[in-house]
């Protein structure tokens, strides 16, 4: 992952007065969110496009510098898939969940807790931040159990997806300690069970649960789409629980979007002030949402 250095000349065409106005418009939001925690699920194109990687890193560092506490939770599906293919192993999914046998779990741990996490830590540090990587094992953070995946069409049937985990509890003390010391936590979604076994947990679920226990002001989920779209491809700027149920029922929300939306809704119901699904393909998507006044992406409401 190569991170190019920021180029100050890119903004040379903007007049000083305009720059000042832009900064002034951000001031109310900086004041509003100062000292608040924001959990960011980092995934999709924003993780694989070098220019978007740099934008993301700069956004996270800027949020930290103006007194907001970002916590990054990352996925790594494409990277896991790439390594599995190199090993001659075909990935299998059931209802958006990766089937994870013992061999696949080793790959998941290496890719998420090693390669991907350290790439993200490195690029945030290169942008001027101080990031620290954690997995769910660090500080006994994410206790997990085997996920029982009920069939969507036949509730009496369960799918065995191997070492895929469900969150039992999250102890956020390690994350809080890092935040208090001006670090930016980067969390890999790997949990541990009562017999010290490892579990691969959906990153959207971990982000939502972590946002809940941290009493985050916002949960921001970066995706490869503009937000949640209706049957006609139009952006839905707000979603309620009833609307979400209807969209899952008619197949508009399906596959990997189901855990993302379900986790977002749980977080909204559990006290996270605002949950947003954002288009991670948009440069500086985080800053547009946090420090701007235009509706951006889809907001999930608790009622």
For residue 82, what are the contacts with CB-CB under 8 A and spacing of at least 6?
Answer: none
Residue 76 annotated in ligand binding: yes
What whole-number distance in Å separates Cα of residue 279 and Cα of residue 290?
14
What whole-number distance in Å separates Cα of residue 184 and Cα of residue 242?
36
Pairing status of strand 184-188 against strand 131-135: parallel
- For 27-62, how does the pLDDT look when each residue is reduced to its tens digit (9 = 90+)? 999 999 999 999 999 987 778 888 999 999 999 999
Cα 77 to Cα 91, 96, 279, distances in angstroms: 10, 11, 18
> What's CA 114's distance to the chain center, in Å?
17
Residue 200 annotated in ligand binding: yes
Answer whether 107's CB lies under 8 Å from 80's CB: yes
Q: Please state whether the predicted TM-score (pTM) of the whole model is above 0.85.
A: yes
Residue 44 pLDDT:
77
Instruction: Provide the residue count of the chain.
Output: 303
> What's CA 146's distance to the chain center, in Å?
22
- For 195-216, how does the pLDDT look when each residue is reduced to its tens digit (9 = 90+)? 999 999 989 999 999 999 999 9
Name the architecture of domain 40-300: 3-Layer(aba) Sandwich (3.40)
For residue 212, what are the contacts with CB-CB under 8 A and spacing of at least 6?
Answer: 266, 267, 270, 271, 272
């Amino acid at each position: 992952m190569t991170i190019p250095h920021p180029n100050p000349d890119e903004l040379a065409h903007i007049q000083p007065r305009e720059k000042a106005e832009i900064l002034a418009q951000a001031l109310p939001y900086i004041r509003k969110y100062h000292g608040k925690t924001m959990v960011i699920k980092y995934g999709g194109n924003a993780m694989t496009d070098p220019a978007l990687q740099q934008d993301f890193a700069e956004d996270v560092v800027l949020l930290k510098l103006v007194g907001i506490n970002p916590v990054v939770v990352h996925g790594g599906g494409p990277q896991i898939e790439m390594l599995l293919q190199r090993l001659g192993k075909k990935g299998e999914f059931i209802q958006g969940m990766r089937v994870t046998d013992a061999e696949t779990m080793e790959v998941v741990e290496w890719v998420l807790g090693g390669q991907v996490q350290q790439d993200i830590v490195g690029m945030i540090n290169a942008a001027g931040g101080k990031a620290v990587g954690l997995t769910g094992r660090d500080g006994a953070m994410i206790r997990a159990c085997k996920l029982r995946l009920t069939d969507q069409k036949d509730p009496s049937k369960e799918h065995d997806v191997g070492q895929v985990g469900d969150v039992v509890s999250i102890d956020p003390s390690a994350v809080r300690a890092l935040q208090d010391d001006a670090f930016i936590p980067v969390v890999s979604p790997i949990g541990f069970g009562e017999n010290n076994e490892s579990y691969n947990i959906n990153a959207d679920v971990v982000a939502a649960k972590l946002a809940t226990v941290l009493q985050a002001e916002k949960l921001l989920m970066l995706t490869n789409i503009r937000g949640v779209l209706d049957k006609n491809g139009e952006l839905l700027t707000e979603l309620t629980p009833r609307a979400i149920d209807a969209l899952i029922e008619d197949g508009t929300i399906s596959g990997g979007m189901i855990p993302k939306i379900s986790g977002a809704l749980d977080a909204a119901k559990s006290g996270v002030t605002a949950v947003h699904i954002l288009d991670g393909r948009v440069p500086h998507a985080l800053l547009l949402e946090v420090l701007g006044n235009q509706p951006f992406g889809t907001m999930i409401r608790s009622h």
